[in-house]
Structure 1
């Protein structure tokens, strides 16, 4: 005869274990399930008004739903993104994230002699959120109708045209230098402290040319306030079907897109990082987020931390060569 057991069923046994200490036996699991314990701050290392803010805000709402806590966006520009990257790298509250970018992760390491952060050691890559087409734009009264005419004008008038960017090493700066190298032209670079101030002068006619991420300028193109001469994508954009790519206009193989991804400080515990990664993919692939991004010609991605880390490494190799050839220096 089997000895009597005080707990006679599996259901009772599970309830007993839960009530008498399973949570105490697995404190790491309990902490992971508790994260985030308060609202999450998503830092954008650039001034308001650019593609970075649009991507961040498009993702933050759904990310908050996935995490069960609000995610609020905070713009913190300065020093080509270095100010924000340094602050977030040192954040130890476990509720501060940053929007990574082609400039802060793949360009700044090669234009600054010394960075106040290590892009590969101070952060956990979480997920590549979106890719943004680079558009080549001119003020509408500039006497050029397409990219070939712009290049011909620049060659005939070397140094007469100026182009703006959100700052040295920004995606817009890289995109224009890439085009200048491909077309063997010269235009004067005017760096700004963010896309917003740059667009103000471009719309006012104080700048001639710029390359800007599509989300920040689609409304101005459709309103006729800016003229788009070319897209940096390999295929034409559905939102701008009549605008040819750079490659179509005589530069085979040319491609230029910006990209934005989510990163956390390296100090974020692994269980929390895992939960954040799952939530980030679900957030950026949610139909509402995809619709918001597509409306601004941005392309939602969403991948794993390992895939994002590999992508960053490849981009660092690519832009290291471009920076060296263009001799890009910080402000």
Structure 2
């Protein structure tokens, strides 16, 4: 009996040793966050993404009780924040914007991580309103003029985007393929540099989100088309791609991800805070300045969206002949 008592005591002590850290960890997650959170975004300061995400972060900070600090990490087609998650601690204190380009990364370059398995998808928040713009002194008054010049001058019509293999770049290449034209692509790191290049005449055209609106309203740029389901109220004279005969709608949804292995309790806390932040009138108003709309997807729905998009992007990359050599 004495031996059985000793064994029982030892087993109980062992169980207590195992349970204590779990309980402490659960308590720690219950108190999350207890310090500032870093949100890494894929584009430079001052552009539509930066401005709208700062509004969202400010709202989320009020819910979380601690600051959400923006870190801009532009370049590499918007995929640097997702790559940063691969070396971050899975504790919820480093999160990142996940642009659509992340889902095609594995097909275009060699990476040692998986965009599905190695990111915890938290919440989808919005998407962009895109269009093609040219300087107001351009001879291209309509999209038909643009296409006619490109057909007569293969490879000579230059256009810029916010990066190689971004949604604006790839969608333009799909449009060009369908139109039977060849264009010359020039990548930039963000909207500010891109707009400067097209306004100054360094480029013949630019493809971007409607961060170009101030330049259009100032009479410096003209919109040839937009890429949504319907015409944008801000640019009622600009036809959609569908109106021009292309069966294309592109709004490039994006959301927020965390490192793989982030505890579900932390993911839920982040999801709930950013969902509430999305519903604040101040965020909706900031989005509206750039013709963007809230586009909520829950953690489960956003994860499913990521899985479906990876499969879809593979077909696009292969169609354009941009897949990396095996």
For the aligned pair, the TM-score class normalised by the smaller chain equals: 0.7 to 0.9
Residue 14 of structure 1 corresponds to: none
Q: Which residue of 2 aligns with 1:291?
A: 285
**C-alpha separation between the residues in 1 aligned to 2:78 and 2:238?**
31
SS in 2 for 1:138: strand
State the partner residue of 2:226. Answer: 231
More off after superposition, 309-318 vs 182-191? 309-318
Corresponding position of 1:145? 141
Using the TM superposition, give the Cα deviation of residue 33 of structure 1 relative to its aligned residue in structure 2, in angstroms.
2.8
Residue aligning to 1:121: 117
- Structure 2 gaps, min length 5: 1-19
Cα distance in 2 for partners of 1:102, 1:273 equals 20
Aligned ranges for residues 50-61 of structure 1 at < 5 Å?
A: 50-61=47-58
Cα distance in 2 for partners of 1:162, 1:312 equals 32
Answer whether contact 1:233 1:256 (CA < 8 A) is retained: yes
**1:32 counterpart = 2:29:** yes
8 Å CA contact 1:40, 1:70 repeated in 2? yes
TM-score by length of 2: 0.87
* Deviation of the 1:265 alpha carbon: 0.8
Q: Distance in 1 between matches of 2:94 and 2:118?
A: 13
After TM superposition, give the deviation of residue 313 of structure 1 in Å.
2.0
1:241 aligns with one of 214, 236, 239? 236
SS of the equivalent of 2:252 reads strand
Change (3 A) 1:119 1:199: same
Residue 250 in structure 1 maps to residue 245 in structure 2: yes
1:79-134 CA-partner distances (Å, limit 9, x unpaired): 33444322222211530110000112x2212111x114321112111111101111
| Mapped partners of 1:143, 1:329: distance in 2 | 35
How large is the RMSD of aligned CA atoms in angstroms? 2.1
Give TM-score scaled by structure 1 length. Answer: 0.85
The alignment partner of 1:173 has SS state of helix
- The equivalent of 1:161 in structure 2 is 157
Distance in 1, matches of 2:323 and 2:197, equals 23
User: Any conservation in 2 of the 1:236–1:245 contact (CA below 8 Å)?
Assistant: yes
Q: Deviations over 1:245-265 (max 9, x none)?
A: 1111232x2212122201111
CA distance in 1, matches of 2:248, 2:76: 29
Cα distance, 1:24–1:313 mapped onto 2, change above 3 Å: closer
The offset of 1:186, in angstroms, is: 0.9
Structure 2 residue aligned with 1:210: 206
Residue 207 of structure 1 deviates from its aligned partner by 0.6
Equivalent pair of 2:160/2:194 in contact (CA under 8 Å):
yes
Residues 203/116 of structure 1: CA separation in 2 closer, same or farther (3 Å cut): farther
108 and 25 in structure 1: CA distance in 2 versus 1, 3 angstrom threshold: closer
Structure 1 unmatched runs, 5+: 1-22
The 1-side partners of 2:217 and 2:45 are apart by 21
Could you report, residue by residue, the CA deviation over 1:35-64 in whole angstroms, capped at 9, with x for unpaired residues? 111111110133334443233223111111
